[in-house]
């Protein structure tokens, strides 16, 4: 049986970072992945440009049942450490918005960076290799792989979450945690488009493809970003962000003209030119198709002069205090991440080691630490992977 100091299950962002770091420390490391290519989610991320971190990443940008858990790892390996690595490889990047850093070229550069790091530090990578069985034998772990058996002192689970099953995502990491008696918190799709009831969807159908800069809130969570109407419901960054906080039955509030008092604006427009059509007045503030739909919904229609203050208030409400209950979400099929996962109370926040099972580690998305949209999830993968890499 082949022997390794550490076996990492999953050649994603977290697994590759962990393996390269452990290799750097002289450990004999094997990375196995059932996919036939490494870092597939890195490759498709950020529209092919990989939003690899965020300048402002900090604990406040993560959801977890144990919110303080991520502090240590994010401090030990920060966004600035990863940026320095990207710069050492001469990869050009830019800030798109809100601290989000993207490659100028291609996300493939980040995959290649991690592959080069692993190679430089002697890591063995085996693709198209499934883990069929894992067992503790007192001294370490015995793994039955689809192409042989291996033994290791440290086993690192970096198999990601359930999002995008089409790409091979499974609940493998959660099952393995349970096998070793480690609790797993409830998992659900996050950073995911929301769907609408058929009647509302029908009413909003003409808006498919329209995007507005909105403030979207659910409970205390609030995001000011773009919102997109789609054929199935709502998407865009503001909706993806709020989806991580939304639960079935919750109401979502949307301001489609945040910061503006539409009632006062329309009143002023009516005083200036009462013969102006409502739709024309609204189109100064809103995308044309949205202005048309809002005007059509106000059945009195016609010119501003025909509209009472009460009607103008109703329009203001519809635009800036729109409240609705989503029907659901698009699910793991399109979710960017999985919320929940391996219960962090069972892990050491400095090393990601399972407290009750010596030598077993969980890193990246499989852990109950979920970032906002904007490079935060990769930063968690780099930080947690780096920490485990120092400990295996
Ligand atoms: P990841 O899922 O990357 O890797 C897990 C690996 O384990 C995979 O290679 C998989 O094949 C392998 N595996 C799974 N089960 C296995 C098994 N049983 N045996 C062997 N191998 C197994 N985040 C961000 O910060 N910026 C961004 O721009 C984006 N963009 C983005 C776009 C899209 C479309 C998605 C779906 C997601 C994003 N994300 C993102 C989220 C980000 O991709 C995600 O958080 C990280 O990839 C998680 O890294 P991990 O290494 O934990 O898992």
210-231 pLDDT tens trace:
999 999 999 999 999 999 999 9
Whether residue 5 is predicted with pLDDT greater than 70 in this model: the reply is: yes
Is 64 exposed, middle or buried (CB count within 10 Å of its CB: 0-12, 13-18, 19+)? buried
SS3 392: coil
Mean pLDDT of the 34-53 span? 97
Whether residue 140 is predicted with pLDDT greater than 70 in this model: the reply is: yes
Spell out the domain ranges in the chain. Answer: 2-188+335-389, 193-330
Query: Could you tell me the distance, in angstroms and rounded to a whole number, from the CA of residue 320 to the centre of ligand 1?
Result: 36
With CA atoms as reference, report the closest residue to 15 among 367, 387, 371, 364: 364
Mean pLDDT of the 156-166 span? 96
Mean pLDDT of the 194-211 span? 97
Reported ipTM: the value is: 0.99
The CATH superfamily holding the domain 193-330 is: Translation factors (2.40.30.10)
Counting atoms of ligand 1 from 1, which one is nearest the CA of 40?
9
Residue whose CA lies nearest to ligand 1 atom number 36:
336
Whether residue 302 is predicted with pLDDT greater than 90 in this model: the reply is: no
DSSP per position, 137-183: -SSSEEEEETTEEEEEEEEEE----SS-GGGT--SHHHHHHHHTT--
8-42 pLDDT tens trace:
999 999 999 999 999 999 999 999 999 999 999 99
Mean pLDDT of the 159-185 span? 95
Residue whose CA lies nearest to ligand 1 atom number 15:
159
Contact criterion met (CB below 8 Å) for 350 and 363: no
**DSSP-derived secondary structure letter, 304:** G
Q: Rounded to whole angstroms, how far apart are CA atoms 361 and 352?
A: 5
Mean pLDDT of the 189-209 span? 97
Residue whose CA lies nearest to ligand 1 atom number 45:
377
Which CATH number is 2-188+335-389 given? 3.50.50.60
Q: What is the pLDDT of residue 299?
A: 72
Mean pLDDT of the 300-314 span? 89
Q: Where are the alpha helices (DSSP H) in 192-261?
A: 198-204, 237-243
Same fold, 2-188+335-389 and 193-330: no
Whether residue 300 is predicted with pLDDT greater than 80 in this model: the reply is: no
pLDDT band with cut points at 50, 70 and 90 for residue 168: confident
Q: Which helix (H) or strand (E) holds 126?
A: strand 124-126
Instruction: Kindly report the average pLDDT of the chain as a whole number.
Output: 97
Q: How many CB atoms neighbour CB 149 within 10 A?
A: 12
Whether residue 301 is predicted with pLDDT greater than 90 in this model: the reply is: no
């Amino acid at each position: 049986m082949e022997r390794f100091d550490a076996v990492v299950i999953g050649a994603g962002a977290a697994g590759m970072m962990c393996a390269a770091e452990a290799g750097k420390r002289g450990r004999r490391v094997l990375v196995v992945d059932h996919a036939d290519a490494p870092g597939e989610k890195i490759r498709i991320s950020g529209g092919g440009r990989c939003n690899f971190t965020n300048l402002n990443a900090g604990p406040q940008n993560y959801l977890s049942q144990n919110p303080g858990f991520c502090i240590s790892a994010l401090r030990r390996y920060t966004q600035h450490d990863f940026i320095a690595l990207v710069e050492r490889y001469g990869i050009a990047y830019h800030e798109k918005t809100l601290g989000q850093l993207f490659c100028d070229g291609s996300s493939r550069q980040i995959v290649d960076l991690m592959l080069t790091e692993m190679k430089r530090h002697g890591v063995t990578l085996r693709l198209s290799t499934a883990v069929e069985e894992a067992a503790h034998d007192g001294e370490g772990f015995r793994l039955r792989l689809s192409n042989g058996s291996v033994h290791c002192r440290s086993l690192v689970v970096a198999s990601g979450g359930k999002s995008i099953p089409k790409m091979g995502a499974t609940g493998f990491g959660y099952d393995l945690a349970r096998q070793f008696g480690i609790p797993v918190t409830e998992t659900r799709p996050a950073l995911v488009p929301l769907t609408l009831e058929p009647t509302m969807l029908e009413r909003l159908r003409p808006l498919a493809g329209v995007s507005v800069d909105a403030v979207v809130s659910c409970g205390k969570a609030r995001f000011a970003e773009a919102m997109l109407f789609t054929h199935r419901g709502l998407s865009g960054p503001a909706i993806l962000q709020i989806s991580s906080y939304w639960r079935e039955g919750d109401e979502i509030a949307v301001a489609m003209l945040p910061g503006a008092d539409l009632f006062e604006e329309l009143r002023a427009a009516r005083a200036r030119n009462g013969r102006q059509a409502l739709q024309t007045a609204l189109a100064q503030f809103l995308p044309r198709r949205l202005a048309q739909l809002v005007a059509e919904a106000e059945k009195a229609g016609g010119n501003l002069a025909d509209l009472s203050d009460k009607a103008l208030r109703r329009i203001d409400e519809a635009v800036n205090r729109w409240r609705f209950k989503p029907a659901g979400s698009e699910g793991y099929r399109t979710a960017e991440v999985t919320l929940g996962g391996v219960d962090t109370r069972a892990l050491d926040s400095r090393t990601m080691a399972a407290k009750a099972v010596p030598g077993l580690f969980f890193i990246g998305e499989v852990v109950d630490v979920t970032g906002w949209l904007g490079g935060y999830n990769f930063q968690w993968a780099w930080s947690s992977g780096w920490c485990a890499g120092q400990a295996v």
